Amino acid sequence: DAGVIQSPRHEVTEMGQEVTLRCKPISGHDYLFWYRQTMMRGLELLIYFNNNVPIDDSGMPEDRFSAKMPNASFSTLKIQPSEPRDSAVYFCASSQSAPGSQETQYFGPGTRLLVL
Amino acid sequence: KNQVEQSPQSLIILEGKNCTLQCNYTVSPFSNLRWYKQDTGRGPVSLTIMTFSENTKSNGRYTATLDADTKQSSLHITASQLSDSASYICVVLQGTYKYIFGTGTRLKVLA
């Protein structure tokens, strides 16, 4: 398996523009997670899905952020409109089992977002 | 307040030496604790996961310990290598789905 695939790897955009980040989880993994990482705040969980259904979105910072998982092999994280403070590295991860088990999450390479 | 604190923030050691990273948490209810290694420019990679009943777990040269009474965990790296240079992140699962993250320890191993 190619692991978790994210695109694009880098994104530079201007404030106010819409940004869409994409993720393909590992085949057979029922859980998908979106994280954001910054120097100031470290790693933060934004939202996670189980079988394409959002389970916990309490980490989504505000209404400008939305995430979808239309099928088991694809998810998007959208920011509209984007702001400079959204600049960060966004990671997608997937796992076979629920968070309460001793599951291993496999992370993608991340998307480095810069909002000017 | 549910928190995970890691120390030191950064550490420099010589190749071949051992080191220990600390993680103290005030998270309740506690489900499990995991250590991640994150190389620069890459996603985190899981090293160990421990539940309440486990007090030690090894992964090669990495050994994690957990003291649920004092709410402390440590990650011990034996015979460090240049490739161990990375950030190490401690994460505690609160309840069934809430992750609490530490800010990480940045380790640099020098030749």
pLDDT for A26 beyond 90: yes
Q: Which of A43-52, A57-66, A98-107, B67-76 has the lowest mean pLDDT?
A: A98-107
A3: left (phi over 0), alpha (psi -120 to 50) or beta: left
Kindly state the average pLDDT of the residues A16-24.
Answer: 97
CA angle B101, B103, B105 (to 5 degrees): 125
Under a CB-based contact definition with an 8 Å cutoff, are residues B7 and B104 in contact? Answer: no
Nearest to B32 among A56, A93, A102 (CB): A102
Chain A interface, Cβ < 8 Å to B: 4, 42-45, 48, 55-56, 58, 91, 93, 98-100, 102-110
pLDDT for the residue A98: 82
In tens, the pLDDT along A77-86 reads 999 999 999 9
Query: Which residue does chain A place closest to B44, by CA atoms?
Result: A107
Query: Which residue does chain A place closest to B47, by CA atoms?
Result: A104
The SS3 call for residue B8 is coil
pLDDT for A1 beyond 70: no
The SS3 call for residue B82 is helix
> How far is it, in rounded angstroms, from Cα B79 to Cα B27?
32
**Dihedral sign of CA atoms A91, A95, A100, A104 in order:** negative
pLDDT for A102 beyond 80: no
pLDDT for A100 beyond 80: no
- Which has the higher per-residue pLDDT, A105 or B20? B20
Mean predicted lDDT score pLDDT of chain A: 93
- Please list the rounded mean pLDDT of every run of 10 residues in chain B (111 residues): 93 97 95 95 93 92 95 97 97 88 96 95
CB–CB of A100 and B89 under 8 A? no
In tens, the pLDDT along B7-27 reads 999 999 999 999 999 999 999
Query: Which residue does chain B place closest to A3, by CA atoms?
Result: B43
Q: What is the DSSP string of A43-89?
A: EEEEEEEETTEEEE-TT--STTEEEEEEETTEEEEEESS--GGG-EE
How distant is the alpha carbon of residue A80 from its chain centre?
15
Q: Which amino acid is at A5?
A: I
